[in-house]
């Protein structure tokens, strides 16, 4: 296998970052570039998929041929066949001349089909024929033409789901997916976020002839903890906005928060992380999922206790309690009632559960419940401690990367280390 200088590729194509996931994607792109294999690039919107298509083209024997990038989602369904394969004069209303399509124009070059998941089914059949036989037919023609074009496709949707729903051809999916490349989202690239921030700040300072903006330490931490659903495109827009609007060229965390939009839904559930090639697999997505489920179970249990406590203190809720008693089957009898101000004292009410036959049995059951609750709390804490230790081990005790893996801020991780007396 030939030696690949990833750093020189980054410099040539203006790629910023040192994330292992990013480096691996660049390595795959460089390895497949000299071949004629079809490549499918997947990644979220704004993560920089087009840069990888350029790497593949310019490092290939086709580098002197044409490179055309086409957004399939931006071309109307009625004209996309004409755009890609051309048309004959008079083939449809408005076709006043014969027109060459992109597959004819780029013969010997590379076509980058972005948002391939938005391509209509009819056009997908035509594309499959090009990939299989190198043949296409212009709209309104019966003549078969040959072309030698390499196709690099990209999508931000799950094509497997699209295939299951009948929106994407299964045979085309497997033909496109000869070599898959996954571009990591910005939130999984760690320190790359700050490197890109500084690069954009410098670029905009030069463009607008102002002093580059900078961040305090707490602002950097705030920046790294933001999830950036819009990825690099969103980060670039935020940096440009700050560069234009801020008079103070150094921002602390409070000022930076004004420019970081709140995410829709506000979910704080940790993201399931993609695995790096060769990484320690002991800290898995399953661990994170278990943590979320156990936290939910604990919260629901505490909420049920709180609701039961409030309802037993409110006279007149006996019927409501009986109606929904199945929700509180694991909560024992509450033998206290708030003093009632009135002529009559209401009788104490109980949940319809199995009561103890004597005081000794009651004491034993209360002790069992207390012990079970204590054990559950201890197991949750031990699980959390174990997950933290695994994350630290995976990243050689580097807190920032471990915190990113756990989906928490570095400040929260530091507090947990003190809580569990973990020496880092």
Taking phi first (over 0 means left), then psi (-120 to 50 degrees means alpha), and beta for anything else, what does residue 278 get?
Answer: left
Q: Which residues pair with 69 in a beta bridge?
A: 112
- Domain 187-266, what fold? Helicase, Ruva Protein; domain 3 (1.10.8)
Count of alpha carbons within 13 angstroms of residue 298, beta-carbon side? 16
pLDDT at 353: 44
Q: What per-residue confidence (pLDDT) applies to 92?
A: 81
CB-CB contact of 405 with 273 (8 Å): yes
Query: pLDDT tens digit string along 148-183?
Result: 999 999 999 999 999 999 999 999 999 999 999 999
> Which of 276-280, 289-293, 398-402 shows the lowest mean pLDDT across its residues?
276-280
* Beta-carbon count within 10 A of 101 CB: 20
Alpha carbons 339 and 10: distance in angstroms, whole number: 74
What is the rounded distance in angstroms from the CA atom of residue 315 to the CA atom of residue 248? 59
Q: Give the residue, 106 or 266, on which the prediction is more confident.
A: 106
**Cα distance between residue 398 and residue 406, in whole Å:** 12
CA distances from 371 to 112, 309, 368, 377 (A): 62, 20, 5, 10
* pLDDT on residue 338: 42
What whole-number distance in Å separates Cα of residue 92 and Cα of residue 95? 6
Question: What digits encode the pLDDT tens for the residues 187-217?
Answer: 999 999 999 999 999 999 999 999 999 999 9
- For CATH 1.10.8.60, list the domain ranges present in the chain: 187-266
Mean pLDDT of 325-351: 46
pLDDT digits (tens, 9 = 90+) for 249-283: 899 999 999 999 875 444 444 444 444 444 444 44
Give the residue, 102 or 315, on which the prediction is more confident: 102
In terms of pLDDT, which residue wins out, 409 or 234? Answer: 234
Q: Does domain 6-184 have CATH number 3.30.9.10?
A: no
Boundaries of CATH 3.40.50.300 in the chain? 6-184
By DSSP bridging, strand 110-114 and strand 67-71 are parallel
Q: Which of 30, 36, 25 is nearest to 56 (CA)?
A: 30
């Amino acid at each position: 296998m030939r030696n690949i200088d990833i750093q020189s590729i980054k410099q040539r194509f203006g790629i910023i970052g040192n994330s292992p996931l990013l480096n691996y994607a660049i390595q795959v792109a460089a390895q497949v570039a000299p071949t004629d294999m079809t490549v499918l690039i997947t990644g979220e919107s704004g993560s920089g998929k087009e840069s990888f298509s350029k790497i593949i083209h310019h490092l290939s024997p086709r580098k002197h041929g044409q490179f055309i990038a086409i957004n399939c989602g931006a071309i109307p369904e009625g004209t996309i066949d004409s755009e890609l394969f051309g048309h004959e004069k008079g083939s449809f209303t408005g076709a006043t001349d014969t027109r060459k399509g992109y597959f004819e124009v780029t013969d010997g070059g590379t076509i980058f089909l972005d948002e391939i998941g938005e391509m209509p089914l009819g056009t997908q059949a035509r594309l499959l024929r090009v990939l299989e036989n190198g043949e296409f037919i212009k709209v309104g023609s019966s003549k078969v033409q040959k072309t030698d074009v390499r196709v690099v496709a990209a999508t931000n949707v799950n094509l497997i789901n699209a295939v299951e729903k009948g929106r994407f051809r299964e045979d085309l999916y497997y033909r496109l997916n000869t070599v898959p490349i996954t571009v990591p989202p910005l939130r999984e690239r760690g320190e790359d976020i700050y490197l890109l921030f500084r690069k954009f700040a410098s670029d905009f300072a030069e463009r607008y002839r102002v002093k580059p903006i900078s961040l305090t330490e707490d602002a950097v931490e705030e920046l790294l903890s933001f999830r950036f659903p819009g990825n690099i495109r969103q980060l670039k827009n935020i940096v440009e906005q700050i560069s234009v609007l801020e008079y103070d060229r150094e921002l602390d965390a409070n000022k930076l928060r004004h420019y970081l939009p709140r995410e829709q839904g506000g979910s704080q559930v940790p993201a399931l992380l993609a695995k790096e090639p060769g990484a320690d697999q002991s800290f898995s997505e399953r661990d994170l999922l278990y943590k979320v489920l156990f936290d939910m179970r604990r919260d629901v249990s505490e909420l049920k206790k709180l609701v039961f406590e409030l309802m037993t203190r409110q006279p007149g809720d006996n019927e409501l309690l009986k109606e929904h008693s199945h929700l509180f089957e694991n909560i024992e009898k509450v033998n206290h009632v708030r003093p009632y101000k009135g002529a009559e004292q209401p009788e104490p009410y109980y949940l319809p559960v199995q009561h103890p036959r004597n005081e000794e049995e009651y004491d034993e059951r209360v002790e069992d419940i207390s012990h079970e609750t204590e054990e559950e709390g201890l197991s949750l804490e031990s699980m959390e401690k174990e997950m933290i230790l695994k994350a630290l081990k995976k990243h050689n005790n580097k807190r920032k990367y471990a915190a990113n893996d756990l989906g928490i801020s570095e400040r929260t991780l530091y507090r947990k280390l003190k809580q569990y007396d973990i020496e880092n």
